[in-house]
Amino acid sequence: MLRRLQIPLIIVLLAGATSCGVNKFPALDEQVKAAWSEVLNQYQRRTDLIPNLVETVKGYAHQEQQVLTEVVAARAKATQIQLPPDVLSNPQAFHAFEQNQAALTGALSRLLVVAERYPDLKSNQNFLALQSQLEGTENRIAVARRDYIIAVQNYNTALRSIPDRWVAALFFPDLKVRETFTISEQAQQVPQVRF
């Protein structure tokens, strides 16, 4: 008789566990990881394009060596950072990664401004193709960052909301709030246009 009661009780407990959101957290965690991988993928794509862009500009802009050096140095710094496994829940590591990528973005912007000074370079097919690739990559980075921010928002909201908070504490006590991107103070400044 006791065995007959155990089987239905186990079924009820399993059904209750699956409907109370226990599986929600692994799914949300995987969404955050996938979105982060896409962010890294797009940053890597940009990093791979930079040597070709620099070499193309270098042929035309000999006197702009400082800007080219800044781009190369920013790329090197961005690719040399070792991301710890807990980067998504480690504010210092996440901020350092974000700063290195922002420095690279700034250096690339200065390089493209330099390119505007050279009409022959602006009409060069290689440069135009690379510039188009870089613009497309920057758009992909923006989309990947947006998708990551949304995934983190869903994850962090679930982790902080009741009753999900209780489920997470009971079944996944090691889950931590994830970091998201911020905007630098420099990017918040209104651009100055001079004619």
The full set of domain ranges for the chain reads 25-188
pLDDT in tens, 100-147: 888 888 888 888 777 777 777 666 777 778 888 888 888 999 999 999
pLDDT at 69: 80
Q: pTM of the prediction?
A: 0.71
- 50 or 123, higher pLDDT: 50
The whole-angstrom separation of Cα 148 and Cα 97 is: 15
Mean pLDDT score across all residues of the chain: 81
Distance (Å) of CA 18 to CA 26, 121, 158, 164, 170: 12, 61, 16, 13, 14
Closest to 97 (Cα-Cα) out of 51, 44, 54, 140: 44
The CATH class of 25-188 is mainly alpha
Highest mean pLDDT among 16-25, 29-38, 62-71: 29-38
55 has pLDDT over 70:
yes
pLDDT > 70 in the chain, percent: 79
